[in-house]
Amino acid sequence: MINEKRFSILSYPNNLVIGITMVAALFSFLYIGQKSIWLDEATSISIAKLPWEGFWERLSSRDLNQGLYYFLLRFWVILGESESVVRALSALFAIASIPVLYALAKRMFGVRAGLITSLLISVNAFFIEYAQEARGYSLVFFLVVLSSYLFVLVTENFSNKKMVCGYIAVSALAVYAHFFAALVLIAQTLSVPFLPSNKIRARQLLLTNLAIATLSIPIALFILTKDSGQISWIPKPSISLLKGLFTDLSGDAGQLGRITSFYLLACIISFTHALSTFFRTGRSIDTWRYAFISFWLIVPIGISFIFSFTKPVFINKYLIVSLPGLVLLAGVGVSLIEDKYCYFILLILLLFFSCRSVISDYYPKEKENYKDSASYVVTHAKRGDGILFYPKYIYKPFEYYLNRLNTPLDLLDRHYSSKLGHHRDTEDRYPDLTIPYLESLKYKYEQIWIILRHENNSEIGTVSRNIVNTVNTHFQLKQEKNYYNVRVLQFVKK
């Protein structure tokens, strides 16, 4: 255990944790309603607002992943549907993670490591990004941290039945928050052989895992039978994607690798001390602690990366489940530095560049600006105009703002918009945007709007150009507006 006697500030850890939690709350709520709702967030809102029958059908047939989040959001949107309100649910789960992560780090490595770990996560740009997004990533972060804390308690005392039941329940809920939480549970189990033989309770551990697996049967059946291309957009894995993942997890948003390098240095210190502990003590509680947090980082990344060569699932935001492992390794590494000047320098550099990354690189960054694009259309449209979306699914965030702007029903031809997918619960009923279909628009509208999403996908780019070229044969481009990842084209009949 790390010597903490000479750090008098550690005499008041609870006050410091409260302060660190307030810092996380500040970053999590700062500018939370400023950015536009983007596609994934609009999808969350639309699922949460479905009638109960449609909601359960949607989850069971297509969107069981993050199902727990959609269920909670369903009640949360009763408070309001503004950007700040719908995102506040994620912010609250992110803030709640701070004291739990501190408690976990403190129990395993001491107060100093706990405080440093909670400090690092509170200013991590990747963490803050998903604290401000109406998706289930901060929820699964909170649940895997809580699950791991309970796992540590259960490992210490399997006779506490209430604790075991709590661990089973939280772990199962984590998997319903996001399927990748199961990879953290695998990491927990893989760490057990590093415990002293007298601490291993193989039978109890097996029964506990069987209970979690039983509660997760609907998820297993869903994965096996309901694959309808939900993640077909994920690219195949590569070394560059792996490198980008570590850059993102360290919160290195535009800092040219500085934060990643500091994290790497801190993790190397932890790994070195872990190896030294293993060779010195063999299987021991101390060895298990390092194995546990190392597996927490490595196992979800390794399994998803290898599996992606068969079916791509490797995407950075899914691997937020590994972020606590990285921050724990870094926090412990910093806390192990004996020289107080080196310790303070590394910690201050990490905190400074992390805060700078959040403030200067994360907050100004939009994902898709449907807010301003919808406002422009509403301001310049005439009654009876037609509107066309490509790709088909971007009507969701756009319509979110049309409704927020109280757009008159007769301003845009909602019958035409409905044919393009408005007010649909499924995405398999859209018409093909064939040339005859597009050419028929000349008989219906004097003015038409085309909303396009900027895509790196070459096929989508080709279709977008074909749509514009076809419409351009009978309509003249009057105005084009480019917002972040969204294009608005205004055509008038020739």
For residue range 311-368, what is the model confidence (pLDDT) as tens digits?
Answer: 999 999 999 999 999 999 999 999 999 988 999 999 999 999 999 999 999 999 899 9
The Cα–Cα gap between 433 and 446 comes to: 19
Domain with 400 in it: what CATH number? 3.40.50
In a shared domain, residues 292 and 415: no
Q: Which two tokens stand for residue 203?
A: 């039978």
Q: pLDDT at position 326, please?
A: 97
In a shared domain, residues 110 and 258: yes
Distances in Å between the alpha carbon of 387 and those of 90, 428, 477? 33, 19, 14
In a shared domain, residues 212 and 269: yes
Residue 1 lies in a domain: no
The Cα–Cα gap between 304 and 302 comes to: 6
Q: Which two tokens stand for residue 392?
A: 């088909």
Q: Which residues pair with 451 in a beta bridge?
A: 389, 488
Tell me the percentage of the chain whose pLDDT exceeds 90.
68
Domain holding 235, by residue range, is 8-362
In a shared domain, residues 78 and 160: yes
Q: Specify burial of residue 290 (Cβ count, 10 A radius: 0-12, 13-18, 19+).
A: buried
Q: ∠ at Cα 288 (287, 292), nearest 5°? A: 125
Residue 313 lies in a domain: yes
395, HSE (Cβ side, Cα atoms, 13 Å): 21
- Looking at residue 417, its amino acid is S
In a shared domain, residues 348 and 439: no
Question: Which phi-psi region, left, alpha or beta, contains residue 164 (left: φ > 0; alpha: ψ -120 to 50)?
Answer: alpha
Question: Which phi-psi region, left, alpha or beta, contains residue 206 (left: φ > 0; alpha: ψ -120 to 50)?
Answer: alpha
3-state secondary structure of 459: helix
Residue 473 lies in a domain: yes
Which one has a higher pLDDT value, 254 or 42?
A: 42
Q: What is the mean pLDDT of the chain?
A: 89
In a shared domain, residues 440 and 291: no
In a shared domain, residues 257 and 147: yes
Q: pLDDT at position 254, please?
A: 64
In a shared domain, residues 77 and 168: yes
Q: Which residues pair with 386 in a beta bridge?
A: 448
Residue 410 lies in a domain: yes
Q: Which two tokens stand for residue 213?
A: 């697996």
Q: Phi, psi at residue 449, to the nearest 5°?
A: -110, 135
**Mean pLDDT computed over 121-133:** 97
Residue 2 lies in a domain: no
Q: pLDDT at position 424, please?
A: 37
| Alpha-helical regions (H) of 282-322 | 285-307
Final residue before a domain boundary, out of 333, 362, 391: 362
In a shared domain, residues 425 and 389: yes
Q: pLDDT at position 441, please?
A: 81
Q: Which of the 8 DSSP states describes residue 82?
A: S
In a shared domain, residues 143 and 257: yes
Final residue before a domain boundary, out of 362, 388, 415: 362
Considering only CA atoms, which of 191, 150, 193 is closest in space to residue 171? Answer: 150
Residue 178 lies in a domain: yes
The Cα–Cα gap between 296 and 321 comes to: 8
Indicate the number of domains in the chain. 2
The Cα–Cα gap between 319 and 300 comes to: 7
In a shared domain, residues 61 and 41: yes
Residue 255 lies in a domain: yes
Residue 464 lies in a domain: yes
Final residue before a domain boundary, out of 311, 342, 362: 362
In a shared domain, residues 124 and 170: yes
Which strands sit side by side in the sheet containing 447-453, from one edge to the other? 386-390, 447-453, 486-493, 475-483
406: pLDDT confidence band, cut at 50, 70 and 90? confident
The Cα–Cα gap between 158 and 149 comes to: 14
Dihedral sign computed on CA atoms, order 120, 173, 285, 5 = positive
Q: pLDDT at position 421, please?
A: 34
Of 15-19, 73-77, 203-207, the least confident: 203-207
Residue 188 has pLDDT above 90, yes or no: yes
